[in-house]
Chains A and B, each alone.
Chain A
Amino acid sequence: MSGLAPMFPNEKPEHPYLTKSYGGKIFGNFASLFCGGCGYGIIGQIFTRIFEDEKLDPKLHPTVIGIGCYSQILLLVHEASQKVLALHGRAPAVATGMKMANPKMKPIVFSGDGDCLGIGGNHFIHLCRRNVDCLIMIFNNSVYAMTGGQGAPTTLYGAKSTTTPYKMFENRSDGVKLALAAGAPYVARTTVAHPRTLMKYFRKALRHKGTSVIEIITPCVTYFGRKNLSSLGAEYMGEKGEKMDTGGKMIDWIKRNSVRINRAKFMTEEELFNKYVIGEFRYEPKPEYSDEYAKIQKIAMGGK
C-alpha cells in the first residue's frame, strides 16, 4: 500500500522473541532504530520476552506509549500487543481512561523522564495517588534525547547537555521519591545493566493489582555519554574520568553509579548525591481504584 508498510508487519515472526522490521530485512532481525549503545533495545526485548513467556493477553494489556526516543520501541515490542502512541506526557491519563472504561484491562505505560517527570508530572502523580491498576515504566536516560540532548528534570548535577552547555545546576527530580510520596503501592528502580532484575520486577508488577512504577536507568551514548565524563556521580572521589562515548563505557558507568537500596541505607546524603539508588522501594498492595469504583457503582445502583 505505502512505501513504509513493511516497517509495520502484521504477520507473526517465526521466532517469538524477534521482530521483523524494515531494518530487520537488512540486518537479519537484530535491528533497531536506536543509536549504538542505547538501552531501549534491551527494554523492548525484555518486554517482548515477558509478553511471550507470561502469555499475556494482548487484548487485556494495551500498551500506551508516550513521546520520546522510546516511541520507536513500538517497532520492537511484541507484534500482538495493541499499541497507542499517546501525546507527550499524557500517557498516564489515557491509561486511566482505558482502565476505567474497561476494568478488565491492565494497561502498560511506556514513559520517559521528560514525559513523566517533566510535562506529564501532574498526570503521573495523580495516577499513583488514585492507584489505578496499570504498570508504568519510566525510562530515565537523563536527557531529552529525541530533540537532540537537552537537559531534563533528571539530568545529574554537573552534567553537560545542549541546553546546559556549562553545567547542569538545577536540582534533580527523582521519579521514585515522587511515586512514593504520591502513594504508589509498588515502586522499584533498576537499570538496563541489570536485565534479570528488571524482568523480575516486571513480572512482579504484572501480578500486582494496582499502580506499579518501575524506573529504568538507561544509557544515552549519543547525547549524554559523549558529552560527559565517567567521573559523573563520583566527583568526591577525586577521580578524573573519560568521555563515555561507547555503550560499554556507559553501562559500566551505570553499574558503578547505582547503589543497592540495602547499601544506600548506610550511606550519607553526600555520598548518594548524583547516584542512582536501585531496588524495590515499596510493595504494599492497597485498594485499587476500579475495584473501589465498582463499590460506588453498587451503592449508586441501590445496593449496600
Chain B
Amino acid sequence: MSSMNDKRFLPEGKHLLMGNIAMVEGAISAGLSFFGGYPITPSTEAIEHLAKRLPEVGGCCMQMEDELASINSVIGASLVGAKAMTATSGPGLSLMAETISMAANLEIPFVFCDVQRNGPGTGLVTEPHHNDLGLMRFSGNGEFQVITLAPMNCQELFDLTITAFNFAETYRCPVFIMSDAYLGHLHEVVNIPPKEEILKRVIKREPPKEKQARVFSYKDPATGKYVIPKPPIMGTDYCPGLFLHLPHGPEGLPTPKPMVFLEMMIDKIKSNIDKICMVDKYKLEDAEIVIVAYGLPVRTSYRAVDIARKEGIKVGILRLITVWPFPDDIVKDVVKDAKAVIVPELNYTGVIAEQVERVTKLTTPIIKLGKVAEFHHPDDILKAIREVSK
C-alpha cells in the first residue's frame, strides 16, 4: 500500500475546508494509508471523506463493525507498517481505551482524532464540550504517557495532524488530536503548502538499514538517555517475532522488572518534553494577568485581550498547543509573577485549571471560566479580566 501517487497532496494554495476534512487531508499528506473507523457524530465527515480519498492514493479506508474493531484494525495495520489513524468522539474513545493501553505497551504508533461532543452519556451530540481531556490523558488501564495536541483552527488541524504523525513515529506512543464539534464542522480557508515542503516535514515509516535486535525503547546506561528505535514492521526482518503486551525489555522479551518498563513508558516522553510541548505566547512580555487557554477558547481570548489592552489592562495569553504532557516548566515560568490566572475552558470541572493550580502550588488566584456546549463570549472573559484588575 506504499504506492502513493500525486493525488496524495492537494494542489498548493488556498482551499475552503471543513475542520474534519482539513484534519484528514493533513493525515493523507503525512502518508496515511489505513483508516479504520466507525461513524459517530461529530466525526463522521472524516470517514466519509477518507472513504473517497484513501483509495485514490492507494490506501484503505474501512468502516468496521464497531469502535473496538476499528481501533484494533488500526493497530493491526500499524504493526505491518502502515501509517494508521482513527477518528471518533467521546463514547467511541471510551470503547477504544483498552486497545489504546495495549498499543501504548507495544509502542505501536497511531494517531487518534477525538472530535469531542457533550456528555456524559449520549449528551448533546452536536455541541462542543472539552470533556474527554481526562480520558485522553488516562485512557486505558495501566500507566503510560500520551501526547495530545489542541488545534484551534482548520489550518492547524491540517498542520498539527502532520506533526501528530511525526510524533507517533518518533516517540511511539498514542497521539491524540483534540478537536470538538464546532471546530470539526467549521469551514475555513486552509493554506496548503507545496508538496516538497510537506514531504520535508514528514517522517517516513521504514525499517533501519542495519539489523538490530532492540526494537523497543530502552534507557541507554552509558548516556542515561532514552533510545526510541524505529517502529518494528511485521513481514520484514525488523520484527521481534513476539509482540507480548506485558512488561517487556528492548528485545520484546518479558522482563521481571515492571518498574523499569513503566519508567521507560513515561520518561521516554517526559525526557523529550521540550521538543513535544508547544506553546504560543501572546502579549505576555509585561502581562500581569495571564490567560491560559487551549483549543477554541483561545480565539475568544484574543478578542478579549485586545479590548482589555485598549483599556490599559496588562493581560496576555499563554496558549497550550500540546495539552498532554502538561508543560509544567513553561506554565510555571509564565505565571510566576502573575496577579491572577484566568483559565477559560469548555468544561465545568476545569481540567487544565487544576493542572495550573498544581503547577502554581495554589499561590496564585486561579479563575475558572467554564462553559459547556456553548462558547465564551469575549465579554465573559473581559468581565473576569476587569474584576481581577481592580
Contacts and interface: CB of A to CB of B under 8 A. Distances in A.
A87 interface: yes
B68 A2 contact: no
Interface in A98-139: 98, 100-105, 122-123, 125-126
Interface SS of chain A: mixed
Given A5-B253, A101-B34, A90 B69 contact: yes
A85 B234 CA distance: 13
B28 to A, nearest CB: 13
B76 A96 contact: yes
B253 A102 contact: no
A95 interface: yes
Contacts of B102: 87
Interface residues of B, number: 49
A33 interface: no
A93 B72 contact: yes
The range of chain A's interface size is 35 or more
A100 B54 CA distance: 12
Nearest to A91: B72
Nearest to B240: A82
B65 A82 contact: no
Contact of B242 (A74, A101, A102, A297): A74
B87 interface: no
A300 B52 contact: yes
Interface in B53-76: 55-56, 58, 60, 62, 64-66, 68-70, 72-76
A94 B75 contact: yes
A301 interface: yes
Interface string B233-258: 01110010111110001010111110
B1 A1 contact: no
A24 interface: no
B77 interface: yes
A122 B69 contact: yes
A84 B234 contact: yes
17 contacts: A1-B255, A2-B257, A59-B234, A64-B76, A82-B235, A83-B243, A87-B72, A87-B99, A93-B72, A93-B76, A94-B76, A97-B78, A101-B77, A101-B82, A102-B81, A122-B66, A301-B55
Interface of A: 1-5, 7-8, 10, 59-60, 62, 64, 74, 79-87, 90, 92-98, 100-105, 122-123, 125-126, 293, 296-297, 299-301
Interface of B: 1, 5, 7, 33-34, 36, 52, 55-56, 58, 60, 62, 64-66, 68-70, 72-82, 84, 98-99, 102, 234-236, 239, 241-245, 249, 251, 253-257
Those 6 A-B pairs whose CB atoms lie nearest each other, nearest first: A97-B76, A97-B73, A101-B77, A300-B55, A93-B72, A101-B82
